Amino acid sequence: MSTLTVSFSDLSKNSKRVADTVEQAQRVHVTRRDGEDLYLTTERHDRQREETADVTARLFAALITSDDGARAVLLALPQVFPWTRHLSAEEVREFVVDLVNATRDVVELDVHANLHRVIVEWRATARILADPELSAQLTEPLSGEDHGDEPQARRRRPAATDR
């Protein structure tokens, strides 16, 4: 699917024409020189995208509640994420649970970053496991040498529930 692109200056100079374009195309990419690019979309298109995410999340969650559904998800996973072949069976199951939870966060909390983070972190794990030399380096026992206390600035601040 191709998305139409306009510049931010075109948007500011010809807002009516760009708004008409958005209504026809449902989504327009706005490029900016001094900031992150934007997307303009219609309300209807945004609602449809939310509904798609909701249906996908609920379907995915429902599938993994039965043995047959979970098996189908596990069989399909390497087609969607080919790098999962480097994960153990237990790691693949953990990835699926993380993926389902992050997908629910998209729908229930409108938090998309968790889904991206889950995929990036598990892909990084697979990348390490795919490289025997790197995997050996990262899994060898630590020397036992004491490197001192962690600097104060990096320590975790107690949460309100810890007090």
At 154 the pLDDT is: 52
Q: What is the pLDDT of residues 29-50, one digit of tens each?
A: 999 999 999 999 999 999 998 8
Spell out a b/e string for 71-97, using b for 16 or more CB atoms within 10 Å of the CB, else e.
Answer: eebbeebeeebebbebbeeeebeebbe
At 163 the pLDDT is: 45
Neighbour tally for 21: CB within 10 Å: 18
pLDDT tens sequence for the chain (163 residues): 578 999 999 999 999 999 999 999 999 999 999 999 999 999 999 999 889 989 998 998 899 899 999 999 999 999 999 999 999 999 999 999 999 999 989 888 888 899 999 999 999 999 999 998 988 888 888 777 776 777 765 555 555 554 4
Which pair of structure tokens corresponds to residue 153? 């600035």
At 144 the pLDDT is: 74
Q: Are strands 4-7 and 27-31 parallel, antiparallel or unpaired?
A: parallel
